Amino acid sequence: MLRFLIPLALFLAVAAFLAAGLDRDPRKVPSPLIDKPAPAFVAPVLADGGKTLRKEDLLGKVWLLNVWASWCVACRDEHPLLVAFAKKGGVPLVGLNYKDRREDGLAWLARHGNPYAVSLFDPEGRIGIDYGVYGVPETFVIDKEGVLRYKHIGALTPEVMAQRIVPLVAKLAGADG
Amino acid sequence: MIPELGHLALILALAVALAQGVLPLAGAQRARTDWMALARPLAIVQALCIVLAYASLTAAFVRDDFSVSYVAAHSNSHLPLAYRVAGVWGGHEGSLLLWQLMLNLWTVAVALFSRSLPLAFVARILAVMGLVSVGFLLFTLLTSNPFDRLLPPAFDGRDLNPLLQDPGMVLHPPMLYMGYVGFSVAFAFAVAALIGGHLDQAWARWTRPWVTAAWIFMTIGIALGSWWAYYELGWGGWWFWDPVENASFMPWLAGTALIHSLAVTEKRNSFKAWTVLLAIVAFSLSLLGTFLVRSGVLSSVHAFATDPRRGIFILAFLVVAIGASLALYAWRAPKIGLGQRFGVVSRESMLLANNVFLAAATGAVLLGTLYPLFLDSLGLGKISVGPPYFETVFALLMAPLVATMGIGPLAHWRGDAAASLARRLGIALAAALVAALVSSWIGGRWSAWSLLGLVLAWWIVCAVATDLYERLQPAGWSPARLAARLAQQPRAMAGMWLAHLGVAVFIFGVTVVKTHDVERDVKLAPGGVASVNGYDFKLVGLREVEGPNYRAVQGDFEVAKGGRRVATMHPQKRVYRVQREPMTEAAIDSNPLRDLYVSMGEPVDGGAWIVRLQHKPFVTWIWGGCVLMALGGALAASDRRYRVKQRAFAAHGVVVGR
Amino acid sequence: MADDAALEARVTALAAELRCLVCQNQTIADSNAGLAQDLRHQIRDMLQKGRSEREVIDYMTARYGEFVLYRPPFSARTALLWAGPGLMLAGGLGALLVVLRRRQRLAADAFEPDANDDDGNTTQPG
């Protein structure tokens, strides 16, 4: 006689999962690159086409990679936070100018401020693909050994900066202190 | 004023629905005829309130009343009138009101067409439908009020999503909702039978036409949605196994199983518990669909803008409604009798095998749709389950189902011998195999899947032909005699043949398109020509076009085959003035044997465009098959025995334990 | 925009298996989004350089995770997904057979008497 309770039991199990699913965001995709070496790159610099920057050049220090573009509306929202972050000094902020035109990128920085120690120029998005970029802006934290430690999708907020990025950076920078 | 009137009408409807849900139910329990007799009038009053509310919302759209928040979000003063009327269901709140309207229409239909049913039974059915209505009205009034004001009023609306500004939009949601909501009738019949204790062949005979009617609407609704996506979205796909598409497909599969299970119950008074469970499950899947579309748990192009509060409310409603009915089932089902007996090989067992396959298919679609959510909520990461999974799994489950479709109608009721069936169907099987091989050879391209699809389609045709032969042949071969004998067949049989042939047509269309579909992305400048499968597409020129609320770049194509002009086509890339999203308006040249499909991609340097050209043989057979299925259902539902007044109800009744 | 039809067919077949991450549930074959076009170029590039389908899939999952695959790979966590339908089918058929056989063995009085409007004839209404 208990078998007649099976449909009810199955339904309640499904309902429990649906309830748990209500506070998940089906669009947020976690990065498979966390805790793996950050993808290598050799890229021209935005400000000066003749110069290139390689990932190896950044080993030995903690750094942030911020993906931005002049056509990206949300980048304008987070930009003041980055400018403030850069002013405080500390770890270098490297920009990745993604699928943009050099003139447009430089003009945008001139208008909104340039918090980046240097910006990489990625007009075809190849570096972006290597880093699994799918929505601009995105921000990565990379440690002294070049291992990718954290990825934030979307515009940065004061909460994310204060609760995730700044403490993580402090921890990674002080790791061998 | 009018929006407030609409709001008031909703509140009034809620009060009436509460009365409708409680009084007749109590009346049936206490044998109080006066309370039971309230059911029909209350249902009609509630419906009038909802019609008033719906009319108010439509009026707000037609009059461009942008002080109503919902209107401002989904309409615009330049929107053509037809889309202002259809735009009422373009967003969450309005489509919910449409759902409510459908629920009330079905309730009134039950109230009016149930004169021959016992009063207590009707009272319970209308009460259950009233309670469902209470749930939806509470949801509407508490979380999704379409009459909320926007003050100060918007200067103009944000326009209806351009994808929805299309004739398909006018037809697809109403048809689909009629189907979704129609299963609430079967649900109410099942719950009423469980409460009242009279579950028998008469019950099955009463329920069947209602289930078939809902199923017909669902079939047409899904087919329209598929066809609409095909011509509107611009890349030639017609089914993506998207969570919202699956949400409509699952009740359809369960509804199909229910129609066949009711046949067994009506004939043999057996497997009643299973039939009742199916009726509850079909509507539960409709409700689940509502949840999936409006709660934000799954990512889909069809999902409405979401709000976690709404998700919580619907989930709570689901738990109460489905939980209570499944608990009622668990309590009452053990006492339902076994009915009459039948053999392990018989038409009844074939119908039940059909149910196993359809239930497994429903379960598989449910599993695939919810699995990403299941893993995510357990913290096991995020995966995607898409067409590669569903197509493989579904095709494999459909093969045995189609096999049964051929055997079942030929099997004798009550008991048959496998050997005799094999003998009668052997020719059909051989003919199907030969026909499949010949069609493969004519088509010129084949694969294991395409052979399987063709065999299945031809198998249905040959089995139906065998059935027809056995029934008509004793009359001799003269056309007049055959026609006369055919006309004598019960409509239920004719409906079955037509619907099953519809399935064959559908399978044939899907198989051929998947095997022979060719698509090419080419770069064309004015004057350029590209070829696909022997058709030469020439881009004669490009020009700018102004529409009522959009601007477009239009490509003018001439298509020739073997030097003879076959079609002129005018695909467009539109930009709607308000929403500014570029939209592809594909051009399709259609005939029963093939579609030619052209869509504009992106402009490139030098005045050229990237254009997608497609040749899709027999693609219209996909929807043609669905139309045949729906017609078959309509024919079956019009069978004499549903229209003839019932004899005394107690004749066949077997009372469920009290 | 290679003219090689066979290569294009391979690109499209692969693109139809991969999810466009900036869209709401579309393959990168069907989407016109910038990222989808970039990834289609990437696939074409890799195939032209002689990489296999397997290598292209691995390349994408290394960067975007298994979420990008519309055909979930078989693993411990997806075992239930892939085995489920088969199990349901087998279970359902098995249950039906057991129930029917069990009913065969029951005495006739567990059932209702056979109604006399049915003679098991094929000319009966459905």
Each residue's pLDDT tens digit, B281-333 = 999 999 999 888 888 788 776 777 677 788 899 999 999 999 999 999 999 99
SS3 B596: strand
Q: Rounded mean pLDDT of C53-71?
A: 94
Is the confidence at residue C18, as pLDDT, over 80?
yes
Per-residue model confidence (pLDDT) at position B657: 34
Which residue, chain included where needed, has tokens 């051989």? B430
Q: pLDDT tens across B351-364, in order?
A: 999 999 999 999 99
Contact assessment for residue B656 and residue B198, using Cβ atoms and an 8 Å cutoff: yes
C-alpha angle B373-B378-B382 in degrees, rounded to nearest 5: 50
Q: Rounded mean pLDDT of B29-51?
A: 95
SS3 B613: strand
Q: Rounded mean pLDDT of B128-156?
A: 93
- What Cα–Cα distance (Å) separates residue B533 from each residue in B561, B596, B614? 9, 11, 9
A18 contacts B315? CB cut-off 8 A: yes
B343 contacts C85? CB cut-off 8 A: no
Sheet containing A63-68: order of strands: A36-37, A147-153, A138-142, A63-68, A93-98, A118-122
Instruction: State how far the Cα of B145 lies from the Cα of B549, in Å rounded to an integer.
Output: 28
Higher pLDDT among residues A50 and B504, named by residue: B504
Assembly ipTM: 0.89
Per-residue model confidence (pLDDT) at position C5: 74
Per-residue model confidence (pLDDT) at position C74: 94
Which residue, chain included where needed, has tokens 């881009």? B539
Alpha-carbon gap: C121 to the closest alpha carbon of chain A (Å): 35
Closest CA to A141 of A151, A133, A130, A129: A151
C21 contacts A124? CB cut-off 8 A: no
Residue A13 domain flag: no
Interface test with C, best of A10, A29, A148, A153 (most C CBs within 10 A): A29
Interface A-C: count of C-beta contacts within 8 A: 38
Give the residue from chain B lying closest to A1, CA to CA. Answer: B334
Using CB atoms within 10 A of its CB, is residue A163 exposed (0-12), middle (13-18) or buried (19+)? Answer: exposed
Is the confidence at residue B337, as pLDDT, over 60?
yes
Contact assessment for residue A158 and residue A81, using Cβ atoms and an 8 Å cutoff: yes
Alpha-carbon gap: C121 to the closest alpha carbon of chain B (Å): 6
Please tell me if residue A32 touches chain B, with a CB cutoff of 8 Å. no
Alpha-carbon gap: A117 to the closest alpha carbon of chain B (Å): 35
Please tell me if residue B375 touches chain A, with a CB cutoff of 8 Å. no
Q: pLDDT tens across B225-250, in order?
A: 999 989 888 788 899 999 999 999 99
A7 contacts B326? CB cut-off 8 A: yes
Residue A139 domain flag: yes
Is the confidence at residue A110, as pLDDT, over 50?
yes
Per-residue model confidence (pLDDT) at position A175: 63
Is the confidence at residue B596, as pLDDT, over 80?
yes
Give the residue from chain A lying closest to B277, CA to CA. Answer: A7
B389 contacts C71? CB cut-off 8 A: yes
Can you say how many angstroms the Cα of residue B223 is from the centroid of all Cα atoms in its chain? 7
Contact assessment for residue B126 and residue B104, using Cβ atoms and an 8 Å cutoff: no
Contact assessment for residue B210 and residue B282, using Cβ atoms and an 8 Å cutoff: no
Instruction: State how far the Cα of A40 lies from the Cα of A49, in Å rounded to an integer.
Output: 19
What secondary structure letter does DSSP report for B646?
Answer: P
Interface test with A, best of C18, C40, C59, C63 (most A CBs within 10 A): C63
Residue A116 domain flag: yes
Average pLDDT, chain B: 91
Q: Which residues of B65-78 are buried (b: 16+ CB within 10 A; e: fewer)?
A: bbebbbbbbbbbeb
CATH code for position A52: 3.40.30.10
Please tell me if residue B269 touches chain C, with a CB cutoff of 8 Å. yes
Is the confidence at residue B576, as pLDDT, over 70?
yes
Domain locations in chain B as residue ranges: 1-165, 166-333+345-411, 417-516, 518-618
Instruction: State how far the Cα of B602 lies from the Cα of B553, in Å rounded to an integer.
Output: 11
Closest CA to B463 of B491, B490, B432, B498: B432
Of A27, A129, A131, the CB nearest to C38: A129
The two beta strands, B572-576 and B550-561, are: antiparallel
A15 contacts B376? CB cut-off 8 A: no
Confidence of residue B141 (pLDDT cuts 50, 70, 90): very high
Is the confidence at residue C122, as pLDDT, over 80?
no
What secondary structure letter does DSSP report for B549?
Answer: S
Residue A160 domain flag: yes
Residues 6+ apart with CB under 8 A from B351: B260, B261, B263, B264, B408
Confidence of residue B486 (pLDDT cuts 50, 70, 90): confident
Residue A6 domain flag: no
Q: How many domains does chain A have?
A: 1
Alpha-carbon gap: C36 to the closest alpha carbon of chain A (Å): 10
C63 contacts A130? CB cut-off 8 A: yes
**Structure-block tokens of residue B213:** 């009617």
Per-residue model confidence (pLDDT) at position A62: 92
Give the residue from chain B lying closest to C29, CA to CA. Answer: B235
Is the confidence at residue B648, as pLDDT, over 70?
no
- What Cα–Cα distance (Å) separates residue B132 from each residue in B318, B436, B503, C50? 10, 48, 33, 60
The two beta strands, B587-591 and B594-604, are: antiparallel
Is the confidence at residue C125, as pLDDT, over 70?
no
Please tell me if residue B642 touches chain C, with a CB cutoff of 8 Å. no
**Which residues in chain C touch residue B533, judged by CB atoms under 8 angstroms apart?**
none
Alpha-carbon gap: A14 to the closest alpha carbon of chain C (Å): 15
Q: Rounded mean pLDDT of B435-459?
A: 93
Locate all alpha helices (DSSP H) within A57-161, ordered by sequence: 73-87, 102-112, 126-130, 158-160
Q: Which residues of A57-84 are buried (b: 16+ CB within 10 A; e: fewer)?
A: ebeeebbbbbbbbbebeebeebbebbee
C-alpha angle B374-B379-B385 in degrees, rounded to nearest 5: 40
**Structure-block tokens of residue B175:** 């048809």
Per-residue model confidence (pLDDT) at position B43: 97
Instruction: State how far the Cα of A126 lies from the Cα of A106, in Å rounded to an integer.
Output: 20
Give the residue from chain A lying closest to C66, CA to CA. Answer: A32
Q: pLDDT tens across A81-105, in order?
A: 999 999 887 889 999 999 999 999 9
**Which residues in chain A touch residue B297, judged by CB atoms under 8 angstroms apart?**
18, 21-22, 24, 26
Is the confidence at residue B650, as pLDDT, over 50?
no
Per-residue model confidence (pLDDT) at position B313: 92
**Which residues in chain B touch residue A3, judged by CB atoms under 8 angstroms apart?**
none
Residues 6+ apart with CB under 8 A from B591: none
Amino acid at B362: T
Instruction: State how far the Cα of B499 lies from the Cα of B427, in Å rounded to an integer.
Output: 22
Q: Hey, which chains touch C, using 3+ CB pairs under 8 Å?
A: A, B
**Which residues in chain A touch residue C22, judged by CB atoms under 8 angstroms apart?**
134-135
**Which residues in chain B touch residue C112, judged by CB atoms under 8 angstroms apart?**
269, 337-340, 654
**Which residues in chain A touch residue C66, judged by CB atoms under 8 angstroms apart?**
32
Q: Which residues of B370-390 are buried (b: 16+ CB within 10 A; e: fewer)?
A: bbbbbbbbeeeebbbbbbbbb
What CATH code is assigned to C5-68?
1.10.8.640
Handedness of CA C35, C36, C42, C45 (dihedral sign): negative
Can you say how many angstroms the Cα of residue B426 is from the centroid of all Cα atoms in its chain? 35
Instruction: State how far the Cα of C108 lies from the Cα of B489, in Å rounded to an integer.
Output: 33
Per-residue model confidence (pLDDT) at position B235: 80
B413 contacts C124? CB cut-off 8 A: yes
CB atoms within 10 A of CB B177: 25
